[in-house]
Structure 1
Amino acid sequence: MKQRTVLTIAGSDSSGGAGIQADLKTMEALGVYGMSVITALTAQNTLGVRGISPVEKSFISLQLETVCSDMPVDAVKIGMLPDIGAMEAVAKGIDKFGLTNVVLDPVLSSTSGTEFTKENTYEYLKKELFPRCLIITPNIPEAQILTGRDINSRKNAEEAAAHIYESCGCNVLIKGGHSSFDQIGVSADLFYNSDAIWIEGRRYENPNTHGTGCTLSSAIASGLAMGLEPVNAVIQAKKYIEKCIAACLELGHGRGPLYHSMRAN
C-alpha cells in the first residue's frame, strides 16, 4: 500500500499540546505517516514554558540525514527553530534531499509570551528559509514582526501578505486568530498567492487553544502530502482545526490543548 508521509521539524512540548507531539497527533488523525526531527526540548505545560534546551546543529543534521536517506518525504512541516544553527541545518537539508511541499510556521513566541526565535535570526528566516517554502503561516503578531507593519484591518493584512510574498517568493497564510477587526463569531484567515483569498470560519469561545499554530501547519502539510493544491490544503486544515477547538477538551490549569482525534471531513 502507498502511504503518504510528512516530516515535522520542530521542538518538543513535554505537555503534548504543541510542537512535535501535536504535529504527530494531527498527522495520524489525517491519515498520513508522521516522522520527526527535534530541534529543541522544552519544559512546558498549559501554564507556560519553564525551560528551553536547543538541539545542536550537527545533531539536527544527523536526524535529517537519517530520516531522509531512508524514508520518502511527501511534505514537510517546520516549527520552532531556536537559533541560526538550526536554521542552517534545515536549509541545507531541504536542498540536499530536495524536500518539497514545505510548510513553515514561524514560531517567534509561545502563547504565554516566551520568546523562541531570537530577533537577530528574523532576517535569516526571510532570506534563506522562506524562499525554500511553499507556504508560511504567521499569525498577525508574527506577520507584524516580519514586515514591520501594523495589521489592524483586512487591507493591512493583504498588504503585509503581499510584501512577504513578493520579497520571499512563498505563499502566505496570515492566521486571523488574533484579529480585532473581523465580525464577532468569525475567524478569517488570509491566504495569499498573488491574489488575496479570505477563508472564513466560525470562531469558538474556547480558551483552550494551546498548539493551534502547530496543529494547523501540520494539517496543511498533511493535505499537501495527499496531493491537495495549496489553497485546498489550507481550507481542509481550517475545517479540521475548527473541529479540534470545538471539541472543548479541558486539561491542565492554564491554556489547555486541542483535541486532535478529529477528521477534516
Structure 2
Amino acid sequence: MMEQFVQALSIAGSDSGGGAGMQADLKTIQERHVFATTVLVAITAQNTLGVNDAFALPTKIIDEQFEALAEDLAIKACKTGMLADVERVRAVVKNLKKFDFGPLTVDPVMIAKGGAPLLSEDAIAVVKNELLPLATIATPNLPEAEKLTDVSIEDEADMEIAAKKLQAVGVKNVMIKGGHFVGDDQSSDFVLLEDGTSFWLTSPRVDTIRTHGTGDTLSACITAELAKGKSVEDAIRIGKKYVDETIRHGIIVGHGHGPLNHWAGRNSDESNG
C-alpha cells in the first residue's frame, strides 16, 4: 500500500478577501509541502478594508465535515481559527474529542484586523475552559492573551505571567505574540514549553500595514510542521521565520490591511523542511 502524503486540517472561517482565515491556512500549509484539508465553521464577507458580514454554519454540517475527513484521510495535525460563537466552539470541541487528528494548534481568533469581532463575548470562556485544555499549543496575540487570562499585559514580564496562566488551564505549550506592542522597533514573542523551558523570539519590525492574516499564517505553519513530525519548538521557530519572510517581502493587494506574501519563503531552506 502506498504511503499517505502528509495531511493537516484547518478548522476555521472563510475570508472572501483571501488574506486571512481558512484561505491563509490553505496557502500556508500548501507552501509547507503538506496537503491541507478543511472544516469550514463560518463564512465572512470581507476584504482588506474590513468585515462586512459573517454567517456561522449549522453545527450539523460542521459535524458532517469532521465525519467525512475521519472516515477517509490520515490527518497528522490540526488547527483552529475563527469559531464564531458558543455553539460552534462546542461543536468543534466535541469533534476534536471524538476524532484523533494529531497535535492541535489553537489560534484563539477574536477580532479581525479592522476591529470586527470574530468570536462572541460569551464564547471566550468556552474557548478557555473547553478548547484550550485540548491544545498542544496556543498562539494568542496580546489582546487575546489578556482576554483569556485577565492579565493586563504592559511589558514582557506580563507576557510571561499570562503564558503561565494559560498553561495552568491545560495548554501544553504557549506562544504569546508581541506584535501589538506600540513603538518598539522589534517584535518579541514569548514561548513557554510543556517542560517548563522558555525562550524569546525577536525580529525587526517592518513598517507596513500589509499584515492581514499574520496569526492564521503562523499557526498554520506550526500545524504543517507538526504534521511532518517536527517538535513543537522546531515548528514554532520555523513558523516565526516563515511569517517574518511573508511580511518582509510584501505584496500590494487591496487598499487596506493587505495580505502577506505566502510564497515569500519558497526558496528558503526551511520551506523544504
Give TM class, smaller chain: over 0.9
Task: Answer with 84-93 or 129-138: which moved more.
Answer: 84-93
Looking at structure 2, the residues matched to 99 and 156 of structure 1 have their Cα atoms a distance apart, in angstroms, of 33
Please report how far the alpha carbon of residue 123 of structure 1 lies from its aligned counterpart in structure 2 after TM superposition.
Answer: 1.3
Partner of 1:188: 188
Deviation at 1:202, TM superposition (A): 2.4
Q: CA offsets, 1:216-239, max 9 Å, x none?
A: 100000110111111110000010
What does residue 91 of structure 1 align with? 93
Q: Any conservation in 1 of the 2:213–2:259 contact (CA below 8 Å)?
A: yes
Contact kept? 2:102, 2:227, Cα under 8 Å: no
Q: In terms of mean alpha carbon deviation, does 94-103 or 151-160 score higher?
A: 94-103
- Show the 5 A alignment for 1:45-84: 45-84=47-86
1:58-117 deviation per Cα after TM superposition (whole angstroms, max 9, x unaligned): 111111111121101100010000112211221111111123210010001101110111
- Give the structure-1-normalised TM-score: 0.96
Alignment-derived partner of residue 39 in structure 1: 41
Could you tell me the TM-score, scaled by structure 2's length? 0.93
Query: Percent identical across equivalent pairs?
Result: 38
Structure 1 stretches lacking a partner, 5+ long = none
Distance 1:163 1:88 in 2: 22
Give the secondary structure class of the aligned counterpart of 1:74: strand
Tell me the distance in 1 between the aligned counterparts of 2:113 and 2:226: 27
Q: C-alpha deviations, 1:90-147, integer Å up to 9, x for none?
A: 1111111123210010001101110111111111111111011100110001101111
| CA distance in structure 2 between the aligned counterparts of 1:203 and 1:66, rounded to whole angstroms | 42
Distance verdict in 2 for CA 1:2–1:228, change over 3 Å: same
Query: Structure 2 unaligned runs (5+)?
Result: none
Q: How many residues align?
A: 263
CA deviation map 1:16-54 (0-9, x unaligned)? 101111101001111000001110010000000000000
Shift of 1:170: 2.6
Contact 1:176-1:190 within 8 A present in 2 as well: yes
Match of 1:173 among 161, 172, 175: 175
Q: Calculate the aligned-residue CA RMSD, in Å.
A: 1.3
* Counterpart for residue 130 of structure 2: 128
Q: 2:25–2:216: 8 Å Cα contact kept in structure 1?
A: yes
